[in-house]
Amino acid sequence: MSDQSPLHCKSANLKKALVWMSETLQLYPEKKRQAVVQEAELRFDLTPLECDFLDKHFSAPLQ
């Protein structure tokens, strides 16, 4: 894996947001993913680059 991999991110806030999103979606499966992503972006004060990452990788509904 390269150093640019999302799994090697250095942002503690992004890591916390990912954990929170996972837990929230498990506890409340009826919540829309896009709404959870937007809440995580605000709750964890993510940078524009981190928000872009979440939007690209997690906003689309599961198929």
DSSP, res 45:
T
Show the tokens assigned to 47.
Answer: 């940078």
Q: Is residue 2 part of a domain?
A: no
In a domain, 38, yes or no: yes
Q: Is residue 44 part of a domain?
A: yes
Domain membership flag for residue 24 = yes
Specify the number of domains making up the chain. Answer: 1
Who contacts 61 (Cβ-Cβ below 8 Å, separation ≥6)?
32, 33
Per-residue model confidence as pLDDT tens digits over 24-41: 999 999 999 999 999 999
Within a domain: residue 4? no
Q: Which residue range(s) make up the domain with 51?
A: 10-58
Instruction: Report pTM.
Output: 0.77
Q: In the prediction, which pLDDT does 26 show?
A: 96
Residue 1 lies in a domain: no
